[in-house]
Amino acid sequence: MKYTVFLLAGSLSLLLSCTMQAPTNVRIHGTWRLVSGTTITKGVSTVTDYTKDSKFIKIIADDHFAFLKHDVNSPKDSSNHFDAGGGAYTLNGDQYTEHLDFYSDRNWEGKAFQFTVSISNDTLTQRGQEKVEGTGVDREIIERYVREK
């Protein structure tokens, strides 16, 4: 009887130790298309649908990321709005930090932005703070991307 109790307790401990491991890195490598973004500034939420008037992609490689955005229905002259940026990133579990080394607005360059990321099926959700001194930007963002095929 004692042997059975010890065997059962040992088996249960082994099972729990296998299922309660520290989180591993989210697999974020690839090309992602931004479909929606929620910005929360001073408690006010604004939702943007990125599937209508613009196309925004983020490419995440081994240790660098880049994003590109342009208006899909803009004139073909110089008034076409184009936005791009990128740099190095770190990923530790679900904590993703972008180090913005390049950006079309130089006020954002050299800044680090920390996010919590998760993936469900083909959807990447990125949530964190954007704060850029001297620009008035201090907000929470929640972005949803789908993996490009």
User: Would 102 be classed as within a structural domain?
Assistant: yes
> pTM of the full predicted structure?
0.78
Helices (H), the chain: 2-19
3-state secondary structure of 110: coil
Give CA–CA dist 136/19, Å, rounded.
Answer: 44
3-state secondary structure of 90: strand
Residue type, 81: H
pLDDT at position 4 over 60: no
Give CA–CA dist 37/48, Å, rounded.
Answer: 5
User: Would 135 be classed as within a structural domain?
Assistant: yes
User: Would 6 be classed as within a structural domain?
Assistant: no
Six token digits for residue 136? 């008035």
Burial of 77 (0-12, 13-18, 19+ CB in 10 A): exposed
**Which residue has 């001194």 as its token pair?**
133
User: Would 2 be classed as within a structural domain?
Assistant: no
The enclosing domain of 33 has a CATH number of 2.40.128.490
Predicted confidence band of residue 14 (pLDDT cuts 50, 70, 90): very low
| pLDDT (tens digit per residue) in 110-127 | 999 999 999 999 999 999
User: Would 3 be classed as within a structural domain?
Assistant: no
Q: How many domains does the chain have?
A: 1
Domain around 40: 23-147
So what's the pLDDT on residue 69?
92
